């Protein structure tokens, strides 16, 4: 069992805003439908679902807006959509397999944002949605923006630093003690980390934990030495742990 313990800057939209969309029945011609066309919104939704399903690290991406779209109707049926999507990350880890519409978008000063370019084939009559290819470029919000909108907020840290792993291990010890799970859990990796100075340093971590073969109730000197159980038993949940 796996568990997760856990601004976009203005750019000009490139979508066509023509009052009358071009005819869809012309194969081989690239069309420019509007951003709010129902077929375009469906294509963006399906593309983002498949992008999130394909990702193995990080957090579920949510659609901020459709920046541009081109449609290529096929000779028999269906269309290929060329999409550029502005996206932001959410509080759902990719291991949760949640749909992006069900995930909470992070506050602007803590989010990761960027663009995904995707090519997807949609055939509504045959209920086919095939993501041909995609590329996402993501980056954290610049520190200067964080200081401007929230000067007292925690600052991002490097998840691989030993102090954040130590925070995760301490937090997990409490989870192991209080949970009703049959086996102990160990830290798989730290996915996000930040620090805030109050009276002293306060560390915040989000991390993935994995169920091990060690049974609770039996003395274990070092849980990190316990072998993980089969990944077929994996589930996920989201939590942020301060220390």
Residue with tokens 């593309």: 47
Distance CA 119, CA 214 (A): 46
Q: What is the pLDDT of residues 156-188, one digit of tens each?
A: 888 888 888 888 998 898 888 888 888 889 888
Longest CA–CA separation in the chain, Å: 72
Q: Which residues of the chain carry a pLDDT beneath 50?
A: 5-27, 234-243
Closest of 125, 26, 2, 22 to residue 74, by C-alpha: 26
Within 10 Å of residue 12's Cβ, how many Cβ atoms? 5
User: Which domains does the chain carry?
Assistant: 10-147 (3.10.450.10), 155-242 (3.10.450.10)
Q: Whole-model pTM?
A: 0.74
């Amino acid at each position: 069992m796996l568990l997760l313990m856990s601004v976009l800057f203005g750019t000009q939209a490139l979508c066509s805003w023509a009052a009358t969309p071009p005819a869809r029945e012309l194969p081989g011609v690239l069309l420019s439908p509007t951003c709010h066309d129902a077929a375009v919104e469906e294509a963006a939704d399906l593309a983002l679902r498949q992008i999130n399903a394909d990702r193995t690290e990080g957090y579920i991406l949510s659609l901020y807006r459709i920046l541009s779209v081109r449609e290529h109707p096929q000779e028999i049926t269906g269309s290929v959509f060329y999409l550029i999507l502005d996206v932001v990350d959410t509080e759902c880890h990719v291991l949760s397999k949640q749909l992006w519409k069900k995930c909470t978008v992070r506050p602007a000063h803590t989010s990761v944002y960027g663009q995904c370019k995707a090519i997807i084939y949609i055939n509504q009559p045959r209920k086919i949605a095939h993501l041909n290819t995609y590329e996402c470029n993501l980056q954290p919000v610049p520190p200067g923006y964080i200081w401007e909108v929230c000067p007292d907020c925690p600052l991002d840290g490097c998840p691989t630093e030993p102090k954040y792993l130590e925070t995760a291990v301490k937090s997990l010890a409490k989870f192991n003690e209080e949970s009703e799970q049959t086996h102990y859990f160990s830290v798989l990796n730290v996915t996000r980390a930040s620090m805030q100075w109050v009276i002293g340093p306060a560390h915040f971590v989000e991390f993935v934990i994995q169920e091990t073969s060690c049974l609770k109730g039996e003395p274990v000197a070092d849980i990190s030495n316990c072998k993980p159980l089969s990944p077929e038993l994996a589930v996920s949940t989201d939590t942020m742990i301060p220390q």
